[in-house]
Amino acid sequence: MTLRKAKGYIRAWISPWSDQKLAEVYAFNADGKMDIWESCNCIRGVVLCDQLHIGSAGECGIAHYSQSAEIPGATEAEFSYLELGRTRIGHHSGWGKALAQRRLSAILRAEMRLRSRRIAVELSPAEVLEVSK
Ligand SMILES: [Zn+2]
């Protein structure tokens, strides 16, 4: 999978999220808590967590991850997240948690910007001034 394609899948995955979910995952990711090898704090698991948390501790077990399989695009999102962190040095490839977090952060920020611009277009100039006070 190319990085470009991966970003597209991630954008599709996050687009149905509520503004609140988007903001929460953004903050969670900015705190360095998103990972790929754990169940509830991965790109799939976060969707079903009301309270974002690390690992599979707590009442959910790994349910947040496993139940997310029913959401269309779950597998693509997971493989895409893997791609976000892939590092290539010559013939060697590895995985960088920080790299994946930086890239996810950029995608989430872009989605939030897009949404706020959409709201601005729906409002009259006077209303925009009102909400931006
Ligand atoms: Zn959970």
Tens digits of residue pLDDT in 76-116 = 999 999 999 998 888 888 889 999 999 999 999 999 999 98
Q: How far, in Å, from the CA of 4 to the mean position of ligand 1?
A: 29
Torsion of CA 29, 35, 41, 44, to 10 degrees: 100
Q: How far, in Å, from the CA of 122 to the mean position of ligand 1?
A: 36
Which residues, in sequence order, are CB contacts of 46 under 8 Å at separation 6+?
21, 25, 28, 34, 40, 52, 64
Q: How far, in Å, from the CA of 32 to the mean position of ligand 1?
A: 17
Q: How far, in Å, from the CA of 119 to the mean position of ligand 1?
A: 32
Q: Provide the pLDDT for residue 132.
A: 67
Q: How far, in Å, from the CA of 21 to the mean position of ligand 1?
A: 14
Nearest residue to 22 (alpha-carbon basis) of 30, 14, 33: 14
**DSSP bridge pairs for 95:** 86
Q: How far, in Å, from the CA of 74 to the mean position of ligand 1?
A: 16
Q: How far, in Å, from the CA of 83 to the mean position of ligand 1?
A: 23
Q: How far, in Å, from the CA of 22 to the mean position of ligand 1?
A: 17
Tens digits of residue pLDDT in 40-85 = 899 999 999 889 988 877 678 788 889 999 999 999 999 999 999 9
